[in-house]
Chains A and B, each alone.
Chain A
Amino acid sequence: MSRAVQQLPKDQFERLHVAYNQALSSKNRMTAIGLFILILLLASSFVGSEVDVHKFIRNIWRFPNYFYEITPKLSIQNFFGDIAEWFWGINKWLRQLGETLLIAYVGTITGAIIAFCLSFLSSRNMAISKWSQIFSRRLLEFLRTVPEIVFALIFVVSFGLGPLPGVLALTFHTAGALGKLFSEIIENIDAKPVEGVRASGGSWFHQVRYGAVPQVIANFASYSLLRFEINVRGAAVMGFVGAGGIGQTLIEYIRKFYYSDVSAVLILIIVTVMVIDTVTEKIRHAFIGTLER
């Protein structure tokens, strides 16, 4: 039987062997350094965030207990009566949920409109001038980095309590988040239609309207819908700082230990979020379908 694998000449084999060992040890060294840094960071963040394992073990029973407490006492005999008692404030809660959805909806659309305007200015291929590009980029970055609830806190001071500061906070943050995504989409478009419009004498506006927008609009809509999902969650906690929606009721119930009400409101929020997620996913797929046609 002949050997399937050819034996290399000795000197060549030696050289390759040494190179292999070197590569292996350098890789191992890198892994060791990476692990060391990771452990160091973990240890320091362990200290920094005041992790207390003792306290955790001593009190962990409270976590399942909390969910036990907020579970309503339902009986078979009076099932529907108990359900009705559990959801006693259903009308009020549904109204607040509606308000939450409206906050998310108005905030998303207004933010998307602002993002639409700024994204063309801040994209590399469609910008008007260097300065407007730099300015709009920095503006979007600022809007994106400041969390919406911080905007809400400041707007509550300047606009007063209620859903309006919530809407504006979501608008600002959405404009920043979507603006970046939009301008990335614009930077990835096919340049030929834009050049075609420019070659036939179109102005900047014409280039945007007939060259760029038809290519990006489906993706814009899809991203805006995704943002709407995120904003529904965001709007649900806007009430924590007094900016409207169901959050105000929820934090009040949690702080006052109205156990069964907490679970009722939480269930309503979770169901709403799930329904919105499913519906927007369906619409998104329809949009992507249009894009591919």
Chain B
Amino acid sequence: MTTHRIFGEALAGRDIAARHPQFFQGVLKNNKTSFAIFTAAALIYLFGWYSVGVSFDRLVGGFSKFGWIVGLMLPPNPGSLHLAWVFFHGLIETLSMAFLGTFVAACLAFPLGLLAAKNVVSNPVIHFLVRRFLDTIRGIDTLIWALIWIGVVGLGPFAGVLAIITSDLGAFGKLFSEAFEAVDSKPVEGVKASGGSKLHALRFGMLPQVIPVIAGQVLYYFESNTRSATIIGIVGAGGIGLYLTETIRTLEWQQTSFIIILVLITVSLIDWLSGKLRLTIIGNQAR
């Protein structure tokens, strides 16, 4: 009976708050501020919907038209064997662009990552300049790089490769430099203490620690580049994106869905493969 009464009292929320103020204070103290932030965020959100011109009619009309288009997409059909071959060729082009772009970007980003890492290059000026350089490159989207490279080497997949290289250079440089900065300094010191030069310290102290990390990141970017290489053709830089845009513009929906399914299958294959490879690499690291 008494136990029940004690629990009954304790279950009243206010009572618990009075007994254990440390668990409630943080929330209560910031209640007004968090309410204000939440309201502001919600208002901006509503204003955003309003400013993009949303209306019930437009949503209903748009989605019913979208559903109609999806209906037209079924069943997926390339149209002719020749077109299927053309799309397949575009897919090969896309994969080549992603692979070559990721590989070359990783090779080029390696020295840049070294330069941007605090524990390798201690000169703050070089460090700062390389970091800002990488930030600027990363700030520009792959599609914009593709447009710029088209001006240099003309339309085609080569411009796409160069665009992937340039935009990945920024991302890889940053990721690699973080990997370098996260290494355990003991092996490096060990190599130096036993008379190794700076190069030896890098090769035998640092590299074994960063290679698995870097390999994982490169594989991950290869996956994501396969996706971006599919769309890079939208601006004319080769790959299957060109055909995707063309079939949408000419309202050949069955071909569109054929291409989309082709891309979906390829991307999930690549994901699966690189997931396997990544696990192997991490397994080696753990061993």
Contacts and interface: CB of A to CB of B under 8 A. Distances in A.
B284 to A, nearest CB: 11
A66 interface: yes
Interface of B: 26, 41, 44-45, 47-49, 51-54, 58, 62-63, 65-66, 68-69, 92-93, 95-97, 99-100, 103, 135-136, 139-141, 143-144, 147-149, 151-154, 156-158, 160-161, 227-228, 230-231, 234-235, 238, 244-245, 248, 251, 256, 260, 263-264, 267-268
A255 B235 CA distance: 10
Contact of A51 (B45, B161, B264): B161
Given A105-B44, A164-B53, A164-B54, A50 B238 contact: yes
Contact of A149 (B48, B231, B256): B231
Contacts of A159: 58, 62, 65-66
A55 to B, nearest CB: 6
B66 A158 contact: yes
A255 B148 CA distance: 10
A251 interface: yes
A131 B200 CA distance: 56
A66 B152 contact: yes
The 4 closest A-B pairs by CB, nearest first: A48-B96, A45-B96, A270-B139, A159-B62
Interface string A237-276: 1001100100000110011000000000010011001100
Given A145-B267, A154-B248, A52 B158 contact: yes
Interface stretch (A4-12, A56-64, A117-125, A202-210): A56-64
Interface in A279-293: 293
B22 to A, nearest CB: 10
Contacts of B141: 233-234, 236-237
A106 B45 contact: yes
Nearest to B42: A109
A164 B52 contact: yes
21 contacts: A42-B103, A45-B96, A48-B93, A49-B96, A51-B100, A62-B151, A63-B148, A102-B47, A105-B44, A106-B48, A109-B45, A142-B264, A145-B267, A145-B268, A157-B65, A158-B68, A162-B53, A163-B53, A164-B53, A251-B147, A274-B135
A226 interface: no
Report which residue of A49, A154, A155, A240 has the largest number of chain B beta carbons within 10 angstroms of its beta carbon. Answer: A49
A25 to B, nearest CB: 18
Interface residues of A, number: 62
Nearest to A156: B248
B61 to A, nearest CB: 8
A269 B139 CA distance: 8
Contact of B158 (A55, A163, A266, A274): A55
Given A56-B153, A66-B151, A164-B52, A51 B99 contact: no
B268 A45 contact: no
Contact of B100 (A45, A160, A270): A45
B144 A237 contact: yes
Nearest to B66: A158
Nearest to B136: A270
Contacts of A234: 141
Contact of B144 (A48, A109, A250): A250
A142 B268 CA distance: 10
Contacts of A59: 152-154
Interface of A: 41-42, 44-52, 55-56, 59-60, 62-63, 66, 99, 102-103, 105-106, 109, 141-142, 145-147, 149-150, 153-155, 157-160, 162-168, 233-234, 236-237, 240-241, 244, 250-251, 254-255, 266, 269-270, 273-274, 293
Given A236-B141, A270-B139, A155 B54 contact: no
B51 A102 contact: yes
Contacts of B256: 154
A273 B139 contact: yes
B154 to A, nearest CB: 7
Contacts of B245: 153, 241
Report which residue of A45, A51, A55, A99 has the largest number of chain B beta carbons within 10 angstroms of its beta carbon. Answer: A45
Contact of A105 (B48, B153, B161): B48
Given A42-B100, A150-B231, A237-B144, A293 B26 contact: yes
Contacts of A251: 147, 235
Given A41-B99, A157-B248, A241-B234, A141 B268 contact: yes
B263 A145 contact: yes
A102 B47 CA distance: 9
A146 B256 CA distance: 12
B69 A237 contact: no
Contacts of B235: 240, 251
Report which residue of B58, B160, B234 has the largest number of chain A beta carbons within 10 angstroms of its beta carbon. Answer: B234
Nearest to B244: A150
Contact of A150 (B58, B153, B260): B260
